[in-house]
Amino acid sequence: MGLWDHIGPMAKTPAPTAIEQGSGLFSVVWDDGTRSEISFRELRLSCPCAECVEEWSGRRTLDPASVPEDVHPAAAEPVGSYALGIVWSDGHSSGIYSWPTLRALGRPAT
């Protein structure tokens, strides 16, 4: 058996089958059957866009103090089949969260 036979199926990127907005968090159901929860503020603070992260260094330039405690999505829509685009209540709208990013930020939920 080759290496690829071993890692092949695991290399598939999980994608959400459902994303629900709960109280202060997103609840994501993944196509591998797991579920995770991601708080709105944590997601806002982890925004991967060029306004929040310095592109050449990867340094986060977003000041957490500038983000309201009760920040929440004003709108959230899938971007293609690979990401979630969120317009935040603080007016920030350039954040696009890929599935692996959402996956990495989420905490396992039951």
Site residues (vs Zn ion, CB under 5 A):
47, 49, 51-52, 95
25 or 47, CB closer to Zn ion? Answer: 47
> What is the distance between the alpha carbons of residues 82 and 91, in angstroms, rounded to a whole number?
23
Pairing mode, if any, of strands 95-98 and 73-79?
unpaired
18 or 79, CB closer to Zn ion? Answer: 79
> What is the distance between the alpha carbons of residues 90 and 20, in angstroms, rounded to a whole number?
20
Q: How far is the CB of 27 from Zn ion (least distance, A)?
A: 22
Q: How far is the CB of 44 from Zn ion (least distance, A)?
A: 8
Q: How far is the CB of 23 from Zn ion (least distance, A)?
A: 23
CA triplet 67, 26, 17: central angle to 5 degrees? 140
34 or 93, CB closer to Zn ion? Answer: 93
Residue 49: half-sphere exposure toward Cβ, Cα within 13 Å: 18
